[in-house]
Amino acid sequence: MTSIPALPLAGIRVLEFTHMVMGPTCGMILADLGAEVIKIEPPGGDKTRQLPGLGIGFFRSFNRNKKSVVLDITSEEGRATATELAGQCDVVLENFRPGLMEKLGLDYATLCKRYPRLIYVTHKGFLPGPYENRLALDEVVQMMGGLSYMTGPVGRPLRAGTSVNDIMGGMFGAIGVLAALRERETTGRGQEVQSALFENCVFLSAQHMQQFLMTGEPPPPMPSRVSAWSVYDVFTLAEGAQLFIGAVSDKQFATLCRVLQRPDLLDVPAYRDNAARVAVRPQLLAQLGEILAQHQVEALAPRLEAAGIPYAPIVRPEQLVQDPHLKASGGLVPMQTEDGGSTEVVLLPLMMGGRRPGVRSPLPKAGEHTEEVLAMLASRRQAA
């Protein structure tokens, strides 16, 4: 029998005080990579479990492979248990409002005095500075960090269509954990890691900031951008189907003209190279739009793929549930839910040694592992 190698974070124990998206994402990444992640929920369970509307999928998306322990950390007994649990862990995660963990005596400054090897990750709205005590949401920092301005048309800032900063903030928190674990091997000491929504969003906007610093010209929002490529847009084909097509080199433009059976476009002086085509881009796009409106997307897409032209249909999230590549590549897999049912979940977008870190356990019910974890704690207490 071939043995399955241990996951890279096997043996690492994580204590998670989180809700919503940012902190749970960090914990899920560590759990998927093999860490034992103990999620602390309040009596009645994490309120994220019950969110309606756009938040309905948060809990199931970001809390797999974890154990659930219900503790009332607002009580003296609950805080004492949580503190003792922290001492049995390598990492603590939290993403509550500024000052709450300090008020409860569960902050890094308090815990590190007893547990100097502890790595403590605080997921915040802002890193230390004038804004650090503000409450933040993904949408708030998208407005503050340049992303909404760059996404929407002029005068209509528009947030991105998903929780980009929450999710990436959790990713940076996990990266910080990996670095801190490595450093602890040398120093023997833990440290506090801080990951913040605002700074995350500014990092996403960094290329536009650099564009301004290099040119002195404020970058326009993406819908009004001056494209570096002549053919790089969404086109409407027959029967209203939409397709993004990008031809980012002279070779690709020539190939596109042949695919569209319009080699005559290559003889137009204004289309002689990319720079010339960019100068007359509106004219070119209008002409290509008229041509493409005569093509069926089902017939054109395979020809574009065979010719090596970048293209993409405009896919909705509900269509991804049946995406053949996601299914074939193992990126969409079943997970047993807390109510005994089953759902499809998206795995981490990476492979390690030819395998995808996957689902190892059902989504926990609130408090499902309380007895198990507290019994372990009591056993260690007796052994000591």
Active site amino acids: 166
The amino acid that residue 23 corresponds to is G
Task: Give dist(CA 339, CA 120) in Å, integer.
Answer: 32
375: tokens are 């019994």
Query: What pairs with residue 329 in β-bridges?
Result: none
Length of the chain: 384
Q: Look at residue 342 and give its three-state secondary structure.
A: strand
Helix residue ranges, H only, the chain: 22-32, 58-62, 76-87, 100-103, 108-114, 138-144, 147-151, 164-187, 197-204, 206-215, 250-259, 274-279, 281-292, 297-307, 317-320, 324-328, 370-383
Task: Give dist(CA 12, CA 181) in Å, integer.
Answer: 9
Determine contact, residues 63/28, Cβ cutoff 8 Å: yes
Question: What residues contact residue 87 under an 8 Å CB cut-off, 6+ apart?
Answer: 114, 115, 118
Task: Give dist(CA 105, CA 119) in Å, integer.
Answer: 16
Region of residue 120 (left: phi > 0; alpha: psi -120 to 50; beta: else): beta
CB atoms inside a 10 Å sphere around CB 363: 23
User: How large is the angle between the packed helices 206-215 and 197-204, nearest 10 degrees?
Assistant: 50
Determine contact, residues 51/58, Cβ cutoff 8 Å: yes
Question: What residues contact residue 14 under an 8 Å CB cut-off, 6+ apart?
Answer: 27, 30, 31, 35, 36, 37, 38, 89, 90, 91, 92, 93
